[in-house]
Each structure stands twice: as C-alpha cells, then as structure tokens.
Amino acid sequence: MKIGFIGLGNMGGPMARNLAAAGHQVAGFDLAAPQIEGVTPAASAAEAAAGAEVVITMLPNGQILRAVAAEVIPAMAAGAVLCDCSTVDVDSARAVAEQAVAAGLGALDAPVSGGVGGAAGGTLTFMVGGSDAAFATVSPLFDIMGQKAVHCGESGAGQAAKICNNMILGVTMIATCEAFALADKLGLDRQKMFDVVSTSSGYSWSMNAYCPAPGVGPTSPADNGYKPGFAAELMLKDLRLSQQAAESADADTPMGQLAAALYTEFVENEDGRGQDFSAMLPRLSARGRKG
C-alpha cells in the first residue's frame, strides 16, 4: 500500500518505520525532518499525501491537525483515507472528518494507547471513529502498528473513547497516590497495602500495572526516578480535552475536573513537567492536610 505519514516524532516515527518494514511504500513529512528507516522523506505534507491510498497523521493538537488537513485533503486522491492518530479534541476530529468526506475521502479518528514503547513494538491499541469502509481499508495497517483496533463508532468516537479512558486513568492515579500517602502517615507498609489493594476492591490499572510506589508491584516509572512513561503534561493535556468535551456536551464530570486542576497545579506551578504522571505520589507525600 502507498502511505503518506505526517508527524514523525516519538510516536509517529516508529509507527511509520513499522509500516515500511512490513513492505509498504511510506512517504513521510515532519517539520523536524527526522530520518526514519525505510521512509522516503517528502518536502511537504501535501507531497507526502499525493497519490497515497492512506494518509496517517500523528500531530500535537487539534489546531495543527486542522491546518495539516487543510493542506493535505486537496492533495489526496479521491477514495483515499485520512487517518488521524493524534489525540485531539472531539470537535476538531469531527470537523476534519467532515472536510475529508466532503472531498470524497474516507476519514478516521484513531487515537492510540500504549505510548512510545507500544509504537516501537507495534503493540498499540487504536480507538477508531469513522465509516465501516474506511476502517476496513486501514485495518491491515492497524494490525502492523498495533495489537488491537476497536471500531468505536462514527467520526469523533475514537477521540471520545480515548479521553474518557484517560480521564479514568488520571482520576484513579490520583486516588492511588492519595491512598499510598495516607498509608505512609498511618504507618502502613506500602508492600502490605499493595498486597491487599491489588487483590481487593481497590484494584485498578494504576495500582496493579503501574504502581506509583517504588519497589512495589511490577516495574514502573516509579522505579526509574519517575522518568516518563507517560509524562504529567500529557496527562494534563488529556484531562483538559476531557473537560473541553464535557463542557461541549453538558456533562457533569466533577472528578475529572478536579483531576485536571490538580495536574495543572503540578505541571504549571510545581515540578511536575518532565516527570511521569505517577510522580503525584511524592508530591502528595510531601504535603500535609492543609497542603
């Protein structure tokens, strides 16, 4: 398949490399002009998109996605599919999809879970919104770049699934860190707490798979000085997207709203930027009841 790939950063670069290694013809564009093994560099996003059967984007935000879409959609052949793997606001995802469909293209919003390790290893999970036909076209590529692709519904459904999932993740990580900080102050051994909670009703991915306490549970960023992992500023981005969507949909999300406020404080006014999002534990451990 002839593929255009726009956005060759920490996530997009490995994804494009995996597609090329599987035998696809990949033309790539990124403003930073990285050299990706097997990927033919293009001089512009439009050049990468020209003649491609599928154009994949992996971009920082909805504003940039809209700008790139405006450039590549006129360059794409009728019947091609624009597949955006960025994590952006639902409104931008739907607007770009409408623009693509109006131009005679297929459109998918397909944000991912699995981080840089999943991108490199081809083990990402894709949450996909768009038509059945567009999903069928891109499915073989999802199989190369990831281990699972869930067709969540029409345009915007992929982004909706991603931000709802990550709102849960942000809230449960804060709750897990609060519990460890409280356990410390109550004199409860962290390992003992893990042994109880990880097999009890407090079970969660934040506790069992990504424990924020060093030396407890499976190896996680906590065991590497809280180096990301999943950076706190990226969690903040997703939580803000969830609250933007909640505002737009008139949904009451008080815990998501509070989690967004706490990560805002941590990232913008404290030392959270550049740390894993589980570094909320040392932040809370250092604080008393009044902060």
Instruction: Report, as residue numbers or ranges, the catalytic residues.
Output: 162
List CB contacts of 8: < 8 A, sequence separation 6 or more.
16, 28, 29, 30, 32, 34, 36, 39, 58
Q: Quick one: 15 exposed, middle or buried, by C-beta within 10 A (0-12, 13-18, 19+)?
A: buried
- Contact criterion met (CB below 8 Å) for 12 and 30: yes
∠ CA 257-246-149 to the nearest 5 degrees?
105
The angle formed by the CA atoms of residues 154, 155 and 156, to the nearest 5 degrees, is 110
**Phi, psi (degrees; rounded to nearest 5) at 130:** 145, -175
CB 4, CB 48: distance < 8 Å: yes
Whether 2 and 51 have beta carbons less than 8 Å apart is answered as yes
Find out whether 20 and 39 touch, Cβ atoms under 8 Å.
yes
Q: Kindly state the tokens that stand for 12.
A: 């997009």
Q: Which of 85, 90, 78 is nearest to 108 (CA)?
A: 85
Strands (E), 63-192: 81-84, 106-109, 112-113, 124-130, 146-153
Type and span of the H or E element at 99? helix 90-102
First to last CA, the chain: 56
